[in-house]
Amino acid sequence: MLDPTMTYSSGYFPHPRATLEQASTEKYDRICRQLQLSPSDHVLEIGTGWGGFAIHAATNYACRVTTTTISQAQHDYAADRIERQQLQSQVELKLVDYRDLQGNFDKLVSIEMIEAVGERFLPGYFAKCSQLLKPSGAMLLQAITIPDCRYDTYRNGVDFIQQHVFPGGFLPSPSAMTECLRTHTDFRLQNMEDFALHYARTLRLWREKLWSQLDAVRELGFDDRFLRLWKYYLCYCEAGFLEHQIGVSQWMLTKPQWPAPALA
């Protein structure tokens, strides 16, 4: 279902005919460009996934990356990818909860990991991210969000995804995030871009790719009930992004001593 980068967060399609792999790569590179990554940077990534961002940043920007996950399977898979690409000297992979991390980093990246944090832990998440950065640092956060107008209803209920796909998952609203930033950090919000339609297309391509390989999926032991659940889930999410009932956005957050850009 995924492209060769093994990315399972939204892509960013640079042009109408872009492939899923091109969209994943462009998403990673937009993050790197916004953070102005350079070889002198030490980047912290909270939420390794399958290693796609860490490998892209180290390969294309020659920076150091420390990336952390709490999944043993993802840790082992990412470690193998890093070793095969001979990036061990640049990429440090940790099997550690982000709350236990220490250090002062130049840049911080977290891609669609905040949805696993939980509502009551959002203030601590943002406070920890701020603490881990140098006074001149910056963070790029990619988050799936629920609109402010639906937040109270959402937070007091259990939806299809929480019940059947991601138990414990929680989507913050933009206002909930900005309130955490205001009261628990010294971050400045430099830019925020919602690109929900890119996620809708990402989901459609995932679904089409999955459905083109049904025989192979069944051979892995997955039955028709599982396939119906996943088809519904992917369509449900695609419709949500198309109708802006959910959003996905990148937030560029900077610390007080982040250098101001020069005037053109």
Q: Mind telling me the catalytic residues?
A: 237
CA atoms within 13 A on the CB side of 5: 23
Q: Using CA of residue 34, residue 38, residue 40, residue 41, what is the dihedral sign? A: positive
Rounded alpha-carbon distances, angstroms, from residue 6 to 2, 10, 200, 215: 6, 12, 18, 21
In 3D, which of 115, 103, 45 has the Cα closest to residue 74? 45
Q: Please return the burial class of 261, using the count of CB atoms within 10 Å of its CB with bins 0-12, 13-18 and 19+.
A: exposed
